[in-house]
Amino acid sequence: MRIILIFLKKEFAQIFRNKMMLPIIFVIPLVQLLILVNAATMEMKSIRMVIVDNDLSMASRRLASHFLASKFFVIDNYMSSAIQAQQLMQDGKADVVLCINRDFEKQLLNESSAKVQATFNAINGMVAGIASSYIQAIMADYQAELIQSGRYNRPVSIGVAGTNVAPAQLNIQHRFWYNPELNYKCFMVPGVLVVLVTLVGMFLAGLNLVREKEIGTIEQINVTPVKKYQFIAGKLIPFWILALIELGVGLTIGKLIFDIPIEGSLFLLFAIAAIYLVIVLSIGLFVATITETQQQAMFIMFFVMIICIMMSGIFTSVETMPNWAQMVNHLNPAYYFMRVIRMILLKGSGFKDLLFEISCMGIYAVAMLTLAVRKYKKAVA
């Protein structure tokens, strides 16, 4: 234990002596938190829409006013030519073209049924899909307004051509649990925090060990009677502590600036984060033991981290991935911690709810730490 404490003192002295290390550990990741949470969002606002009104009736104007009042759409143009509207989309100046057919109001009065056509720019399939959902919701509200107006003796049906969704016939009341305001920042802040602690843990610990290889100081340690587990512990614990501190600072910023909910136990969150950090730190140290330069280590760790983060569910649900990807994710530590941090902060999950994730991460931590210690080659004095 005394030898490990001496190593810790030496590592912390190295970290604080390096003027660039602390800004890299704390300032840069927290700036990334502030930027990424606001930039990486699935909330589509300011969707550019062009309305082609061939009817110019009271009903068509009221329909257009619903889109004008929506915070999701920006009505760039009103026109009567569908060809001109399609040209705007081809020129990249419109995301959606809504065409209201001639005799729209007459069809509603005589047949209680009418259709409009929505054309989407689907180069970005995500924008097109979300815009389609927004239009369906606005159409449902407009349909309910027409029914309540009492001008129609039969049920009113308004379909949107091109969306392949049947008009809503039921009155559905939604309740959103755990994030009732559908605030996307509450979903993204925990995910970005996982990325940041992974970055600090995996990269800095690994690069710190490889740097000692490059400058030759590790050879002086190798000829001492220090055991391998003592050396790895001395390299792992400082960045483990710093990453936990960064997680705490990130949670504080998330609460103060983004007002994220903290429904569960912070003690449980930090306990599981401690296990997760042992995994990513061990991966970084393992990579450092099999590489000779910082460039080699960075390429390998970047490759591993990108796969882990992109498959962790930070942007898309893991349940929507192919079956083979879901099976591979059982080897992805970021997948478990991404679930844990969101379930604790947003849902208030307890130890029993997270027992499977904790067990998997515990086994993973022991396996990776053992592998990192065994892989480290120590010269014989």
Domain coordinates in residue numbering, the chain:
2-40+181-375, 47-161
* Lowest pLDDT segment from 170-174, 179-183, 224-228, 374-378: 170-174
119 has a pLDDT exceeding 80: yes
238 has a pLDDT exceeding 60: yes
In this predicted model, which residue has the larger pLDDT, 234 or 161?
234
Q: Tokens 């407009």 correspond to what residue? A: 142
Measured in whole angstroms, the distance separating CA 358 from the mean position of its chain's CA atoms is: 21
- Those residues whose C-beta lies under 8 Å from the C-beta of residue 257, and which sit 6 or more positions away, are 34
333 has a pLDDT exceeding 80: yes
pLDDT digits (tens, 9 = 90+) for 314-331: 877 888 788 888 898 889
In CATH terms, 47-161 corresponds, of 3.40.1710.10, 3.40.50.620, 3.90.1300.10, 3.40.50.11540, to 3.40.1710.10
> What pLDDT was estimated at residue 165?
45
Confidence band for 380, pLDDT divided at 50, 70 and 90: very low
Whose CA is closest to 48, among 89, 67, 76? 76
pTM here is 0.75
> What pLDDT was estimated at residue 174?
63
169 has a pLDDT exceeding 60: no
170 has a pLDDT exceeding 50: no
pLDDT digits (tens, 9 = 90+) for 341-372: 999 998 889 999 999 999 999 999 999 999 98
> What pLDDT was estimated at residue 31?
82
Cα–Cα distance between 236 and 50 in angstroms, integer? 57
> What pLDDT was estimated at residue 381?
40
Share of the chain above pLDDT 90, in %: 15
210 has a pLDDT exceeding 50: yes
162 has a pLDDT exceeding 60: no
Confidence band for 152, pLDDT divided at 50, 70 and 90: low
Confidence band for 168, pLDDT divided at 50, 70 and 90: very low
Q: Which residues pair with 48 in a beta bridge?
A: 74
pLDDT digits (tens, 9 = 90+) for 257-312: 888 888 999 999 999 999 999 999 999 889 988 888 888 888 998 898 889 888 98
User: What average pLDDT is seen over the chain?
Assistant: 82
Q: Name all contacts of 75-83 with Cβ < 8 Å and 24+ positions apart.
A: 75/49, 75/50, 75/51, 76/48, 76/49, 76/50, 77/50, 77/51, 78/50, 78/51, 78/53, 79/50, 79/51, 79/52, 79/53, 80/52, 80/53, 80/54, 80/56, 81/52, 82/52, 82/54
Q: In the structure encoding, which two tokens stand for residue 237, read together?
A: 């614990």
Whose CA is closest to 246, among 24, 50, 18? 24
> What pLDDT was estimated at residue 167?
47
> What pLDDT was estimated at residue 161?
56
Average pLDDT over residues 335-344: 93
In this predicted model, which residue has the larger pLDDT, 143 or 346?
346
